[in-house]
Structure 1
Amino acid sequence: MDRVILSEPIGTEGYMDPEIEKSKGVTYKTDIYSFGVVLFEILCGRKAFIHHEANRFIAPLAKYHYENKTLQDIIHPDLRNQMSSKSLKKYSDIAYSCLKKERAHRPNMDYIVAELENALKFELRYENLVRPFLLSFSSYFSYSIIHCFR
């Protein structure tokens, strides 16, 4: 449904769809924008709005870095180092699509859920490929260290 509900702009700073100001109305795509902000909060490990910071809002910061292919500069290092590149790409693509300026260009929630599930599948495949190697390597490494100090 693309029904618009007219309302005064009300919301939490950092999560509000910029289109509310222009249209004075909200649709379900307004919530999609806010969800995209949450996805980037998770990815970057920071709040949507930080009052005393130059880049106070995460949404324009994330869009800037996504569009300039420098998203790795703001992704939380623990996630960046642990996620597969395929999963990270899929996740960031869907998060970015939620922040599209034009509401009509934002995906619907069914699509978002399906794409996030795909990102999870990529990640699980990656972990199944990498983890056995890492476990065997760490076991070998631990065994070597223990025997070196005997």
Structure 2
Amino acid sequence: MGCMDPAIEKTGGVAHKSDIYSFGVLLFEMLCGRKAFVQNDAKSFLAPLAKYRYENKTLQDIICPDLQRNLMSPQSLLKYSNIAYSCLNEDRADRPNMDYIVDELEKALKLQLRREHIK
């Protein structure tokens, strides 16, 4: 629950870009330190919450506090959240391909290692 591409319901089919959506949800799960779906009164889904927070520039309110304060460099955090958000595009055609995602995550890692002075 919570990782499925919403376009599947609209189109009735799965595409490789459906996996990109699911991967974006996984990236946000790691960033926020919570599951994609939390069973509560609101039946809270992470993907729409993360998209809303990203678009309203309040993503920092749901990011795992330790990552934000102590562990991730601001530049790496920005790069990581940008790529995670791009995976959640409603239109499959607007989602990045996996090669691009890997390149961007490698850039995020390099930014992080630079902060930690590791080469």
Q: How many pairs are equivalent?
A: 117
SS at match of 1:101: coil
Answer whether contact 1:50 1:56 (CA < 8 A) is retained.
yes
> Over aligned residue pairs, what C-alpha RMSD do you find?
1.2
Provide the residue aligned with 2:76 in structure 1: 87
Equivalent residue number for residue 36 of structure 2: 48
- The 8 Å contact of residues 55 and 61 in structure 1, kept in 2 or not, is answered as no
TM-score by length of 1: 0.76
Query: 1:128 Cα shift?
Result: 1.1
Partner SS state of residue 37, structure 2:
coil
Q: Which aligned runs of 4 or more in structure 1 are off by greater than 2 angstroms?
A: none
Q: Secondary structure at the match of 1:43?
A: helix
Flag structure 2 segments of 5+ consecutive residues without an equivalent: none
Is 1:27–2:15 an aligned residue pair?
Answer: yes
1:96 maps to 85
Q: Distance in 2 between matches of 1:63 and 1:124?
A: 27
* Counterpart code for 2:12: K
Structure number with the bigger relative contact order (C-alpha 8 A, sep ≥ 6) is 2
